[in-house]
Structure 1
Amino acid sequence: MSVKSSFKKHALALCLLACAASAWAAEPKDAGGIYLGASLGRASGSASEYKTGTSLSLGFGAGYRFNENFAVEAFSRSLSFELLANALNNNPGYYPEDHLGLALLAGLPVNDSFSVYARLGTGRTRMSTGTTIKPDYKLSETSAGLGLAYAFTPRFAGKLEYLRFTRNEVNLLTFGLEYRF
Structure 2
Amino acid sequence: MFKKIAAATALVLASSAAFAAQPNTFYAGADVGKTKVDDFSKRDTSVGAFVGYNLSQNFAVEGGYRRLGDYDIGVMSYGGAIDNGSVKVDQAHLSLVGSMPIGESFSLYGRLGVNRLEAKLSSPAYDSKESTTKALYGVGLSYAFTPAVSARLEVQKPASDGTNVSAGVAFQF
TM-score for the superposition, normalised by structure 1: 0.74
Deviation at 1:101, TM superposition (A): 1.2
Q: List alignment gaps of at least 5 residues for structure 1.
A: 1-26
Matched, 1:68 2:57: yes
Q: Deviations over 1:126-154 (max 9, x none)?
A: 02223361420211111110000000000
Pick from 46, 67, 71 the counterpart of residue 78 of structure 1. Answer: 67
One-letter code aligned to 2:58: N
Query: Conserved in 2, the CA contact under 8 Å of 1:96 and 1:125?
Result: no
* 1:87-123: CA deviation from partner (whole Å, max 9, x where unpaired): x522589956111010110010112310000001202
Q: State the secondary structure of the residue aligned to 2:48.
A: strand
Rounded Cα–Cα distance in structure 1 between residues aligned with 2:95 and 2:87: 22
Q: Supply the distance in 1 between the matched residues of 2:75 and 2:21 (Cα, whole angstroms).
A: 54
Matches within 5 A, 1:4-83: 31-32=22-23, 33-47=25-39, 50-51=40-41, 53-82=42-71
Which structure has more strand as a fraction of its residues?
A: 2
SS in 1 for 2:75: coil
Measured on the aligned residues, the alpha-carbon RMSD in Å equals: 2.3
Larger Rg: 2
Q: Distance in 1 between matches of 2:144 and 2:89?
A: 31
Tell me, which stretches of 5 or more residues in structure 2 are unaligned? 1-16, 78-82
Q: Give the percent of matched residue pairs that are identical in Structure 1 and Structure 2.
A: 27
Number of residue pairs matched by the alignment: 148
Match of 1:98 among 90, 97, 111: 90
Alpha-carbon deviation of 1:179? Answer: 0.2
Runs of at least 4 residues off by over 4 Å: 27-30, 91-96
- Separation in 2, partners of 1:128, 1:180: 34
Amino acid at match of 1:152: F
More helix by share: 1
